[in-house]
Structure 1
Amino acid sequence: MRFEDSSFSKSLSYDKVILDFGSYYLFDDFFIMEVNEGIHFNWDKLNILLDSLRTYYGNHKTLAYIANRVNSYSIDPVLWSYFDKDDSILIAASIVSYRDSTYINANIEKQMASIPIKRALSLEEAINWVLQLKEFN
């Protein structure tokens, strides 16, 4: 389910940013990304996203990330290693899977990451998990 079609879009305050490769929704302590169909999410796109996030939040904010995988696209799983080297803006992530193949890919990504990654089967599950993170409470 796309974020804007969910009940959360009516109950939570957010800002929306549209990039060439997808849209994301900004909240106080997390953001939701929906990558466009057929995109290959690589280093260049990650850097564009991170620059945009730092412009919005500043250089010292920590966030959780929800990948709402409503579209079929590819991602370089090695990108998760970036957050080992960065003074990391991301402290946790949740990958929402709507297909078996996406869930399997999320397992691989989870192995590549040093930050906690929650595999979720719904946007509601992912948002509730993020809202319960001890770093934000």
Structure 2
Amino acid sequence: MYAKTKLSFGTLLVSNSILISEINEGVTLNKELSDAIIHFAKVTFQNRPFVYLTNRVNSYAVDPIIYRDVSQIKTLRGFAVVSQTLSARNAEIERLFLNKPFEIFSDLDKAKAWALKRLKENQSESFID
């Protein structure tokens, strides 16, 4: 079961150590909006590791500069894009900007399984910011 948080630009779902975003149609995910998600993740997970899944059910733009800040989140253990459309091709470019494990999936359940595997593999690491 996921806890749902509605934001002005999308919805965030949290379960255990997985954060799933569903950004609204037509949004440009810029630094300001990314900072809101980063803040939410830091408050929600504290110093616990987590994986971020972006479930691209809507069409929206991403400013790749946001990945500079995302790469600095020490407790972030992986980042995945879930898409069944052309945005998966855009994600190949986004991958170049993120310094974290990054995968692309067409199925949310497969992305969740990957996230759980990433978290299990990294259990013994230190997660202090």
Q: TM-score, normalised by structure 2?
A: 0.86
String of CA shifts for 1:36-68, please: whole Å, max 9, x gaps: 00000011001111222222222x222100000
Moved over 3 A (4+): none
Task: Determine which of 51, 57, 74 is the counterpart of 2:61.
Answer: 74
Q: Which position in structure 1 is the counterpart of 2:19?
A: 31
Structure with a larger share of its residues in helix: 1
Q: Which position in structure 2 is the counterpart of 1:47?
A: 35
Does the CA-based 8 Å contact 2:52-2:80 persist in structure 1?
A: yes
For structure 1, which segment, 124-133 or 38-47, has the greater mean C-alpha deviation from structure 2 after superposition? 124-133
Q: TM-score, normalised by structure 1?
A: 0.82
Percent identity between matched residues is: 26
Aligned length: 122
Higher relative contact order (Cα pairs below 8 Å, separated by 6+ residues): 2
Once residues 96 and 81 of structure 1 are traced to their aligned partners in structure 2, the CA distance between those partners, rounded to angstroms, is 21
Once residues 75 and 136 of structure 1 are traced to their aligned partners in structure 2, the CA distance between those partners, rounded to angstroms, is 30
String of CA shifts for 1:21-42, please: whole Å, max 9, x gaps: 0001111111110000000001
2:105 corresponds to 1:120: yes
CA 1:77–1:15: 2 relative to 1, 3 Å: same
2:82 corresponds to 1:96: yes
1:83 positional shift = 3.1
What stretches of structure 2 of length at least 5 have no aligned partner? Answer: 125-129
What stretches of structure 1 of length at least 5 have no aligned partner? Answer: 1-12
Aligned CA RMSD, in angstroms, stands at 1.6
